[in-house]
Every structure is written in structure tokens, then in C-alpha cells.
Structure 1
Amino acid sequence: MDAQELQKIADDWAVGLPGTDLEHRSAPNWHLYKVRGKVFMLMTDLPGRPVVILKADPEDAVALREQYADITPGYHMDKRHWITVEGGGEIGAELVRELVVDSYRLVVRGLPRSQQPIDPGTYERHA
């Protein structure tokens, strides 16, 4: 999938999650996806390459970076807890959806229970 398609899939999926707000910052061009004021996804265009930046469990982040060349440490974020995803390689639509939901879930789980728009287990992956 190309980088524009990556961003479109991530955007389509993120805006449909309960309690999601989208904030645009124009200088530089950033799209911040938040749940109850906490960022769970960012999109921007690095020189020549649109990217999606997502929160990730630190162990999962390491495994993803080892498995996929198009997943790197989070650009301008805590490198342990965030990943950057680029299009063009082996990243497929289903993986993008999973990563967006995982990022959202991690942020929701960290919110006080009274502010959680859903039970974080609602979007758990089932083995």
C-alpha cells in the first residue's frame, strides 16, 4: 500500500472510534487524533513520505520494528512507546487497523474509568 492509502485507512479507522477528536495544526502540517484530550495517533508528511505515528506497547514496538522495515521508532515522540509507520512496503490494511486500535486502546486504558468512552477490552484482539 502506498503512503497516501496508509494515511487514508488510518484516518478512516481512527475517526470512527468512540470519543475521537481530530485536531489540525498547519505549521507544520500535523493531524492529531485524540480521545478525551490524549493523543493516540498523529499523521504528517515527513520530507517525501507521509507517515502515521502511533502509541504502542514497548514490547510490541520492538517486535514490530524487527519484523517490518517500514515501522520505525516514533518520530518526535518517546521512542519506547511510539512507532512511525510508512507505506510502500509490506504493511497491509489489516495491520494498520490493528495498530490504530491498539494505540487507541492503550490511551483509553490510561484514562480514569469515568472518562473512558468505552471499556478498553471492547476492541481487544481475540486469539
Structure 2
Amino acid sequence: MKYDWTDAYCLAKAGAEKDFKLEWNATRYSIRGKMFAMQGGDKEGKAILTIKLEPSFGAFLRSQYKDIVPGYYMNKEHWNSLYLDGDVPDEVVREMLDQAHRLVLESLSKKVQKEICS
């Protein structure tokens, strides 16, 4: 599988936690229970990584790469799914994951952000 580095990359982020949701057959990456990425499959079982992004950035990426689509089974405005057998450059995927982590971290209280980042 391409992008096999994403698990370690997500877990290296400040405050990142990983769990597996059996009902969804998906691995979730979150900060204090707020998800920023999820790895699972689409209805055909194709491996996808679904990532939270700023709506305008997500729309831009979908216009540039055929392997990035609106978030599978998620809010299509804020979530985008990346097919893990696709051809999106690693640096773009890293940028997506960085933004997702930042968005969730910044949504937490200043006190919690300070706890996580210190």
C-alpha cells in the first residue's frame, strides 16, 4: 500500500491518539476525541484516508487530483477522502494531514492546546 508512512506521521503529531472503530472498520486519529483523519475503505473496499480540511483547500485539491474526492460518509464540505492506491504526491498528503491536525488542535480551548503543546 502506498502512503504506509501515514500512521506514524499522524501519531507523531502533538496530542494524537489512535483507535479502531469496529462498526466502521476504520482506524481513527484524533486529539482529545476530536477526529482529524480516518483510514478505512469505501463501499467497494478500496482503501481511503479521510482527512479534515478547510473547505476551500479541499475543493482546490479535488480539482487538482482525481484520487481526492469529497469525504466518504462524512460532511462533504469539511472532509476529503484520498484513495491510498492513488498518485497524490507525499508532500501534498503531508500538507493535508498537517492542516487537519492544526484545525482540530485550534478548535480546542487555549488551556487544552497549552497542555498538548507543552
TM-score by length of 1: 0.84
- Cα offset, 1:26, TM superposition: 2.1
More RCO (CA 8 Å, sep 6+): 1
The percentage of aligned residue pairs carrying the same residue is 30
> Does residue 9 in structure 1 map to residue 5 in structure 2?
yes
Q: Which residue of 1 aligns with 2:46?
A: 49
Contact 1:32 1:43 in 2 (8 A): yes
For the aligned residues, what is the CA RMSD? 1.5
Q: Which residue of 2 aligns with 1:33?
A: 29
Q: Which residue of 2 aligns with 1:64?
A: 61
Structure 1, unmatched stretches of 5+, are 120-127
Amino acid of the structure 2 residue aligned with 1:76: Y
Q: Out of 69, 78, 81, which is 1:81 matched to?
A: 78
Q: Which residue of 1 aligns with 2:100?
A: 103
- Cα offset, 1:48, TM superposition: 3.6
Contact 1:9 1:93 in 2 (8 A): no
Q: After superposition, what is the alpha-carbon deviation per residue over 1:14-73, rounded to whole angstroms, capped at 9, x for unaligned?
A: 011111111112233111101011000001022241000000001001101100100000
Q: Which residue of 2 aligns with 1:118?
A: 117
Structure 2, unmatched stretches of 5+, are none
Tell me the distance in 2 between the aligned counterparts of 1:86 and 1:53. Answer: 9
TM-score by length of 2: 0.90
Three-state SS of the structure 2 residue aligned to 1:40 is strand
